[in-house]
Structure formats: structure tokens, C-alpha cells
Amino acid sequence: GQNIDQPTEMTATEGAIVQINCTYQTSGFNGLFWYQQHAGEAPTFLSYNVLDGLEEKGRFSSFLSRSKGYSYLLLKELQMKDSASYLCAVMDSNYQLIWGAGTKLIIKP
């Protein structure tokens, strides 16, 4: 079966760095996405990785290792507004997104 695993909840301090891990097992691979979702809102796109390596975009970076079926989202200089759920999603061979359950990130002052 297809499976996406990510931690249910993480807590971090304002100004710090946090890494959210995602492991996956899917039938085929056409890219991995990270989305941010605030409570009561739709997801917003953060990053897309299809090749191995690190993609940096401002305070957010995303890493992919296809051989290990592993990705992480790195958030630097955390701000209170970063409190949200972070969803990992993999596009399979049918170009369908397989979603993880999301990681709720709690930022404390």
C-alpha cells in the first residue's frame, strides 16, 4: 500500500529552527510537496522536490532523498505565525497526491 509518515505534533521556540520529517512508500514518484495549513483554511504551497537535494526558499528549506524515501522541511528563525499544520504529499505514478496526516507545529514564545 501507499503510506506517508510524519510526526503528529512538534513544539518549538520562537526564533529557533525546527525540522519536520516525512517518510514515504508510494507506487511511483513524481515529486514531493510540502504545504502549510492554518486552522480552518486551505493548504498553501511551500515547496516541491523532484530531484535529490536541498531546495532553499527564504526561511524554509526542503530536502529530498528518493533512495531513502525521505524528506524534511526545515524552518528557520521561527515566528509565531508559523504555528500551523505542515502537510507532506507525494505525487504517485498516476499523478495523484498521496497525503500525510500532517504535523501540527506549535511555536512558543
Partner 1 sequence: GAVVSQHPSWVICKSGTSVKIECRSLDFQATTMFWYRQFPKQSLMLMATSNEGSKATYEQGVEKDKFLINHASLTLSTLTVTSAHPEDSSFYICSAASGRETNEQFFGPGTRLTVL
What is the binding site for partner 1 (CB under 8 A)?
30-31, 33, 35, 40-45, 48, 87, 91, 95-97, 99-102
**The 3-state secondary structure of the chain, one letter per residue:** CCEEECCCEEEEECCCCEEEEEEEECCCCCCEEEEEECCCCCCEEEEEECCCEEEEECCEEEEEECCCCEEEEEECCCCHHHCEEEEEEEECCCCCEEECCCEEEEEEC
Residue 92 beta carbon to partner 1: minimum distance, rounded to whole angstroms: 11
Residue 74 beta carbon to partner 1: minimum distance, rounded to whole angstroms: 20
Residue 31 beta carbon to partner 1: minimum distance, rounded to whole angstroms: 5
Which residue lies nearer to partner 1 by CB, 30 or 83?
30
Which residue lies nearer to partner 1 by CB, 17 or 106?
106
